[in-house]
Amino acid sequence: MNKYIADWTVKENIRIHRDCSFLKLTLDDEIPEIFPGQFVQIKVEDSPATFLRRPISIHFVDREKHELWLLIQAIGDGTRKLAASKVGDRLNIIYPLGNYFSLPEDWDNPPIVTEGALNEAKPLLVGGGVGVAPLLYLGYQLAALGYKPTFLLGAKSIADLLQIAEFEKLGDIYVTTEDGSAGEKGFVTGHSVLQSEKFDFIYTCGPKPMMVAVAKYAKQNNIECEVSLENKMACGIGACLCCVEKTTYGNTCVCTSGPVFNINQLTWQI
């Protein structure tokens, strides 16, 4: 898949959380095909401490409007600088990077659906914190194909739930918060919807302990599951080996073989 490098213009920067910004970027040229789960590497200008580009998930792509959406959680110098971008700023971006989520029909064992049509199968998309970022574009693509996505989103508190209004446009939403300020109290894997409904496939992105717990649930219930890993990265092109993940087929770079993996490829204890 071809990679591109271009200067994108910041069209909007909306502070949606104490330390999370929602950026809409535009490009004068056509946007190439980009798939849900892929990411970009952004150069951080005027930040001597941030020599390397920073990997950020593709939150949404609107090819008609030439827009790319990103969610940036400011946790260090690089993301603080990106989150503080001003309208009109130019961001130098390499895109699209990495592999992408599989659609149910691409899997070795597509779900068996009694009603007949594959798109009657029920996808569950589980996100935690800023890990919800790649799930919006995935949910959009699934909905466009006729699936009805269910989102299960977790956060520490109500203020930490991100982009709920955007997810609500695409499917059913269930929420957990650790303090009980919204939805059910606790972690996503404790939500009652996992007992009351049957899902045919699961996609997840968020903190590793959450993804491991989701993978365990999927395994126990014999449900296909893909996870999007956010290992620390440097080069983003498979050269420095700092993003290596152990898999059933050996050590592999998450930046080139991932970030999306089927749980059966991982050596997690699940």
Choose the stretch contacting ligand FES; rule: CB under 6 A; options: 129-137, 148-156, 188-196, 236-244. Answer: 236-244
H helix or E strand, kind and range, residue 75: none
3 state DSSP class of 69: strand
**Which listed option, ligand FES, ligand FAD, none, makes contact with residue 38 (CB within 5 to 8 Å by class)?**
none
Does 73 bind ligand FAD (CB under 6 A)? Our answer is: yes
Give the nearer residue to ligand FES in terms of CB position, either 54 or 191: 54
Q: In what order do the strands lie in the sheet with 123-128?
A: 184-185, 172-177, 150-155, 123-128, 201-205, 224-228, 260-262
Q: Contacting ligand FAD (CB under 6 A), which of 13, 79, 189, 257? A: 79
What are the tokens at 167? 């997810």
Does 32 bind ligand FES (CB under 6 A)? Our answer is: no
Give the nearer residue to ligand FAD in terms of CB position, either 41 or 189: 41
Q: Contacting ligand FES (CB under 6 A), which of 6, 158, 182, 235? A: 235
DSSP of 234-254: SSSSSSS-TTEEEETTEEEEH
Q: Which of 82, 92, 94, 61 is closest to 13 using CA atoms?
A: 82
First to last CA, the chain: 32
Query: Could you give the CA distance from residue 140 to residue 132 in angstroms, rounded to a whole number?
Result: 13
What are the tokens at 212? 């491991």
Q: Contacting ligand FAD (CB under 6 A), which of 1, 5, 15, 76? A: 76
Beta bridge partners of residue 94, listed in sequence order: 5, 41
Binding residues among 169-228 for ligand FAD as defined by CB under 6 A: none
Handedness of CA 223, 270, 197, 59 (dihedral sign): negative
Distance in Å, CB of 253 to ligand FES, minimum? 4
**Which listed option, ligand FES, ligand FAD, none, makes contact with residue 21 (CB within 5 to 8 Å by class)?**
none
Does 50 bind ligand FAD (CB under 6 A)? Our answer is: yes
How many CA atoms, within 13 angstroms, populate the side-chain half-sphere of residue 69? 17
Residue 199 CB coordination number (10 Å): 22
- Total site size for ligand FES, rule CB under 6 A: 12
Query: Could you give the CA distance from residue 213 to residue 210 in angstroms, rounded to a whole number?
Result: 5
Give the nearer residue to ligand FES in terms of CB position, either 52 or 182: 52
Does 52 bind ligand FES (CB under 6 A)? Our answer is: no
Give the nearer residue to ligand FAD in terms of CB position, either 54 or 191: 54
Binding residues among 98-157 for ligand FAD as defined by CB under 6 A: 130, 133
Q: Which residues bind ligand FAD (CB under 6 A)?
A: 39, 50, 54-57, 71-73, 75-79, 130, 133, 230-233, 259
Footprint of ligand FES (CB under 6 A): 233-236, 238-243, 253, 255
